[in-house]
């Protein structure tokens, strides 16, 4: 007789997954998936990198590696983080099976059912799912164009009977909001984190994908500025640059947290693929990244511009959206009383798809927004897809 655990009994296939299935129809112009563009992956180079490896490295790639990570990749990654201005002293690094696992492990070692977790609204679906799976009570603090609203954050935390277990933010080319935090907002948030002695997960999958060199300074993580007085769990990933199929993420955090996460990882999947770690290590240490990033930034900027212009040309005046300065996403806001699911259903009939806003709401309520990813869809289809969605919006707005 199968009797599921209490946490498994609470698991559901989400409404969103059903909508994502509709969006996966090849006849649909889909802006739903937050995926890199297939044509940009270094498919040939990776074969060359493999063939040039010495036998010992090739054999190591097939073998187990320590739970913390393949040591040469850990070293290479440390140097990469330091080049980005993120000092690693006072912290330990753990390689994870994608950033999703890093977020999941932190949640697992910190959360008991009923614990409070504060996130942004909107927030990353995968993080919300992980926190819910450990029974957390979630509350999302609204973002404005500069980041999380500090006064709302502060008064919400003050209203709680006990401090939240942690705060989860994604400040750099936010998924799905598309914004980047201003310097001042980061300072204010860091101040809160320090004052309250609060644990913060700082999730940074898109920071390298700024469209304008002038914004590079803004992508310096709070982890780099918080010093050892703060407990920041910094999460990164190679997914949006080197490809999510490698399943490589990392967690940079104080040793006590890494120790527990490593113990949890040990019985979860023993270690992350050595094979993909060896490839990523040799890609990074081979010096291919800077040039590749330049190409990615240009490509995604062009795609963002095409989408922005298509929106400007077709959307009615009641609709607003973020003009992205990096990353993969545009977040579209409809008037408050409009249900994005209705727009979705209408768009699907027309042949275009996106992800509705409630998916990104930790409380699953607010649904007058939706997310457009400009990263994956064929470039010449973007304007056509947006005009289908604009037509659907106009129909629903009446």
Q: Which span (11-19, 282-290, 292-300, 351-359) binds its own copies, by CB under 8 A? A: 11-19
Please state the φ and ψ torsions of residue 37, each to the nearest 5 degrees.
-80, 135
Q: Which of residues 271-330 bind its own copies (CB under 8 A)?
A: 271-276, 278-279
Residue 26 in the binding site for its own copies (CB under 8 A): no
Query: In this structure, are residues 92 and 253 in contact, taking their beta carbons and an 8 Å threshold?
Result: yes
Shortest spacing between CB 398 and its own copies, in angstroms: 37
- Positions in 204-243 near its own copies (CB under 8 A): 231, 242-243
Least distance CB 101 / its own copies (angstroms): 4
User: What is the Cα–Cα distance from 225 to 55, expressed in whole angstroms?
Assistant: 41
When binding is defined by CB under 8 A, the residue of 228, 266, 294, 320 that contacts its own copies is 266
Provide the minimum distance between the beta carbon of 334 and its own copies in the complex, in angstroms, as a whole number: 28
Q: Is position 159 an interface residue for its own copies (rule: CB under 8 A)?
A: no
Residues 109-128 that bind its own copies (CB under 8 A): 109-112, 115, 126
- Among positive and negative, which fits the CA dihedral 180, 182, 183, 186? negative
Mask: binding to its own copies, 350-389, rule CB under 8 A, as x and -? ----------------------------------------
Q: At what angle do helices 43-52 and 274-285 cross, to 10 degrees?
A: 100
- Token pair recorded at residue 170: 């994604």
Smaller CB separation from its own copies, 87 or 163: 163
**Residues ≥6 apart with Cβ < 8 Å to 201:** 103, 106, 127, 166, 167, 168, 169, 232, 233, 235
Q: How far apart are CA 372 and CA 380, in angstroms?
A: 16
Contacts to its own copies from residues 54-83, by CB under 8 A: 55, 58-65
- Say whether residue 6 binds its own copies (CB under 8 A): yes
Residue 18: enclosing H or E segment and its boundaries? helix 15-23
Say how many residues make up the chain: 398
Q: How far is the CB of 20 from its own copies (least distance, A)?
A: 10
Give CA–CA dist 249/105, Å, rounded.
Answer: 12
Q: Which stretch binds its own copies (CB under 8 A): 51-59, 87-95, 284-292, 366-374?
A: 51-59
User: Is position 94 an interface residue for its own copies (rule: CB under 8 A)?
Assistant: no
């Amino acid at each position: 007789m199968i009797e599921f655990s209490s946490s498994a009994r609470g698991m559901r296939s989400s409404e969103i997954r059903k909508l994502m299935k509709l969006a996966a129809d090849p006849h649909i112009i889909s802006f739903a998936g937050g995926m890199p563009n297939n044509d940009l992956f270094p498919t040939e180079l990776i074969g060359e990198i493999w063939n040039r490896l010495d036998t010992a490295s090739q054999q190591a790639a097939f073998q187990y590696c320590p739970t913390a990570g393949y040591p040469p990749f850990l070293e290479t990654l440390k140097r990469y983080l330091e080049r980005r201005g993120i000092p690693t002293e006072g912290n330990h690094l753990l390689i994870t099976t994608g950033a999703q696992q890093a977020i999941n492990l932190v949640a697992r070692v910190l959360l008991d059912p009923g614990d409070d977790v504060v996130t942004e609204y909107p927030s990353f679906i995968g993080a919300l799912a992980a926190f819910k799976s450990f029974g957390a009570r979630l509350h999302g603090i609204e973002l404005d164009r500069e980041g999380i609203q500090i006064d709302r954050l502060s008064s919400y935390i003050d209203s709680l009977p006990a401090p939240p277990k942690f705060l989860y933010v994604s400040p750099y080319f936010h998924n799905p909001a598309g914004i980047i935090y201003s310097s001042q907002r980061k300072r204010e948030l860091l101040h809160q984190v320090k004052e309250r002695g609060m644990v913060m997960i700082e999730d940074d999958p898109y920071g390298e994908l700024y469209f304008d060199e002038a914004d590079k300074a803004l992508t310096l993580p709070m982890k780099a500025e918080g010093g050892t007085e703060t407990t920041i769990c910094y999460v990164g990933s190679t997914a949006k640059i080197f490809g999510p199929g490698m399943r490589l993420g990392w967690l940079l955090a104080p040793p006590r947290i890494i120790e527990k996460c490593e113990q949890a990882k040990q019985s979860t999947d023993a270690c992350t693929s050595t094979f993909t770690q060896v490839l990523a290590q040799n890609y990074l240490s081979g010096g291919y990244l800077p040039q590749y990033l330049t190409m990615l930034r240009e490509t995604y900027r062009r795609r963002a511009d095409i989408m922005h212009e298509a929106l400007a040309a077709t959307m009615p005046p009641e609709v607003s959206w973020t003009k992205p300065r990096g990353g993969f996403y545009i977040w579209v806001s409809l008037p408050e009383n409009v249900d994005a699911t209705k727009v979705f259903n209408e768009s699907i009939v027309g042949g275009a798809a996106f992800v509705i806003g409630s998916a990104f709401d930790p409380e699953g309520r607010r649904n007058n927004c939706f997310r457009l990813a400009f990263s994956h869809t064929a470039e010449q289809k973007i304007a056509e897809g947006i005009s289908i969605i604009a037509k659907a919006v106009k129909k629903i707005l009446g």
